[in-house]
């Protein structure tokens, strides 16, 4: 089950988000898990980023996986909880980044959403190797999408 909460003034294609998450869940065999997605603004994500990552700035996405997911393998199958995790997305930051990378907000949102989902299934980008692996996996998954 996917729960999406848009707490911004932006008109976001929530059907696109839902379809992408469903395809990701099938591909990573976590379709029975619950995922929560919240779209929030700069001020809120800045507070969360400061509290959880000690970075006093807006960010594009924050991923929150339950502790039992952190101990699981990359399929997220370990643990008794049916909750895969929560993604908190700053759509204003997505739009700014799209301009920086010279592509559409839709393309940036898809990339960032897949990146966050990869975090929820156990991938990490704290090292350069992990970051490159996540980018490669994300790009490979996005190429296969037909949305």
> What are the start-end ranges of the E strands in 28-98?
34-40, 61-64, 83-90
CA 5 to chain centre: 14
pTM as predicted: 0.89
Contact 99, 49 (CB under 8 A): no
CATH number at 2-144: 3.40.390.30
User: What's the rounded Cα separation, in Å, for the pair 94 and 98?
Assistant: 6
What is the full per-residue pLDDT of the chain (147 aa) written as tens digits?
899 999 999 999 999 999 999 999 999 999 999 999 999 999 999 999 999 999 999 999 999 998 755 444 454 444 447 999 999 999 999 999 999 999 999 999 999 999 999 999 999 999 999 999 999 999 999 999 877
Contact 120, 63 (CB under 8 A): yes
């Amino acid at each position: 089950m996917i729960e999406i909460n848009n707490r911004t003034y932006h008109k976001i294609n929530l059907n696109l988000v839902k379809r992408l998450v469903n395809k990701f869940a099938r591909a990573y065999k976590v379709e029975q898990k619950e995922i929560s997605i919240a779209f929030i603004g700069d001020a809120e994500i800045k507070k969360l980023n400061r509290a959880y990552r000690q970075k006093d700035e807006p960010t594009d996405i924050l991923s929150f996986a339950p502790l039992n997911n952190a101990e699981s393998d990359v399929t997220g199958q370990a643990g008794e909880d049916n909750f895969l995790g929560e993604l908190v997305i700053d759509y204003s930051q997505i739009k700014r980044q799209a301009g920086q990378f010279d592509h559409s907000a839709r393309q940036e949102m898809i990339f960032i959403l897949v990146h966050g989902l990869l975090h929820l299934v156990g991938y990490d980008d704290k090292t350069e190797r992990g970051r490159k692996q996540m980018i490669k996996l994300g790009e490979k998954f996005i190429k296969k999408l037909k949305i």
